[in-house]
Chains A and B, each alone.
Chain A
Amino acid sequence: AQKITQTQPGMFVQEKEAVTLDCTYDTSDQSYGLFWYKQPSSGEMIFLIYQGSYDEQNATEGRYSLNFQKARKSANLVISASQLGDSAMYFCAMRETYSGAGSYQLTFGKGTKLSVIP
Chain B
Amino acid sequence: EIVMTQSPATLSVSPGERATLSCRASQSVTNKLAWYQQKPGQAPRLLIYGASTRATGIPARFSGRGSGTEFTLTIGSLQSEDFAVYSCQQYNDWPSYTFGQGTKLEIK
Report if A and B associate in a common complex.
Answer: no
The residues of B with any CB-CB pair to A shorter than 8 Å are none
The residues of A with any CB-CB pair to B shorter than 8 Å are none
